[in-house]
Each structure stands twice: as structure tokens, then as C-alpha cells.
Amino acid sequence: MSITLLHSVLQVLYFFLPAYLANMSPVLVGRRFSALAIPIDGGQTLRGKRILGDHKTWRGLLAGIVAGALTFELQRLAYEAGVARGLALIDYSAHPLLPGLLMGLGAGVGDAVKSFFKRRIDIEPGASWPVFDQLDFFLGAYLFVSLVYAPPLLPALACLPVIFLGNLAFNAAGYRLGFKETWI
Ligand code: CTP
Ligand code: MG
């Protein structure tokens, strides 16, 4: 891998920091805010199968939007303070808040769309669907944030193995700590 491609990969990985935090946030929020722990699909079914299932809640979706926006704002503050500027793909000062909101929302929507397909093929909520479970949020975040800024595609594709492994590591840790039902 050339130095310039490696640099672009690191920039794309840094750019999507809000999406990773958004994806982790439903697990990190745990059992707090129980009033919002309502299934997004409202318990509805489609051809006898749940649309999304009980594990996709408004609490998780909102936690992701908040986490995405907060992380992006911290990156913006860092940029304005001159920190990690070499990793910045965009002028953070020119794009307050919106990319963070879009990455948080996109991560949650990507995850929920994946759950929709899991229910269609009879995979129970919480049971694993390797590769799709690890990359769903990134695809969603990429598509949503592209409304304001589309990160370069080739480095984004090169990020996939890193994101896949990072996600596995987080899930394995969550499983050991008792937050997750499966290790993968
Ligand atoms: N979660 C949530 N709301 C969301 C997304 C996630 O409450 N919109 C919580 C659920 O408790 C879920 C956990 O975060 O069990 C881990 O999320 P994830 O791995 O995405 O869901 P799964 O449990 O694997 O469910 P599914 O089979 O529907 O993907
Ligand atoms: Mg899962």
C-alpha cells in the first residue's frame, strides 16, 4: 500500500469516528432511559415475521444520533484547536454538527435495515449474521453523510477489514462483560 493511500485510509478511519461511537452507543447506554426502550417497529409484523424485532429500539437509534453528533463536535473542536489536522478530510469549521448527525442516523438506519433482512431469513434478534452485522452501520453512515460530503471510495473500501476486526473486538469485549448475547 502506498504512503498516500495509507494516509487516506487513516483519514477515512478518523472521519468515521462518529459512526463507530454511534454504533457502540446502544450497548454503552445499557438499561438507562428505559422509557425510550420501545421497539421501532412497534411490535408489527410483515408476513408473520417481525419487521425489525425487539432489539431495535428508539433508545438505541437516538443514542446513536447523539453519540455521532457529540463525537463530530469534539473532532471539530480538536480541528479548531489545531489538533490532528493531518487526519482531517474536511474543514470541520465549515460543517458544524450536520455530518455528525447524519453519520449517527445513518449508522442506526444501516443497522436497522440489516435487522429487517435478518428477520426475513429467520435469524432471531441477537443471533449473529457475520460480516453484515459488522459492516451495516458503516455502509449506512457512508450513504447518509454523502449528502454533505462523500469520502473517497477506494480508501473507504480499504477501511472495511479494519472496521470488521474492530467491531469483532468490541463485541467480544461486550460479550465477556455480559452486555452482548453472542461473541461475534
Ligand atoms: N440496540 C437498541 N436499539 C437499536 C440498536 C441496538 O436497543 N436501534 C441494542 C439492543 O439491546 C441490541 C444491542 O443494542 O441487542 C446490540 O445491537 P445489535 O448487535 O445491532 O443488535 P442485535 O441484538 O444483534 O439484534 P439484530 O439481530 O436485530 O441485529
Ligand atoms: Mg448484533
Report residue 45: phi and psi, to 5°: -120, 160
CB 23 within 8 A of CB 111: yes
pTM of the model: 0.96
Q: What is the DSSP letter of 149?
A: -
* Residue of 23, 55, 109, 119 best suited for mutating to test ligand 1, as the one with most atoms within 8 Å of CB: 55
Please name the helix (run of DSSP H) or strand (run of DSSP E) that holds residue 163, with its range, or none.
helix 153-176
* pLDDT of amino acid 3: 86
* pLDDT of amino acid 184: 78
What does the block give as the cell for 59? 433508545
Closest-CA residue, ligand 1 atom 16, reads 27
CA dihedral sign, ordered 105, 25, 33, 174: positive
153 Cβ contact list (under 8 Å, min separation 6): none
pLDDT tens per residue, the chain (184 residues)?
688 999 999 999 999 999 999 999 999 998 999 999 999 999 999 999 999 999 999 999 999 999 999 999 999 999 999 999 999 999 999 999 999 999 999 999 999 999 999 999 999 999 999 999 999 999 999 999 999 999 999 999 999 999 999 999 988 998 888 877 788 7
The CA 128 to ligand 2 mean position distance, Å, reads 6
Strand partners, 39: 57
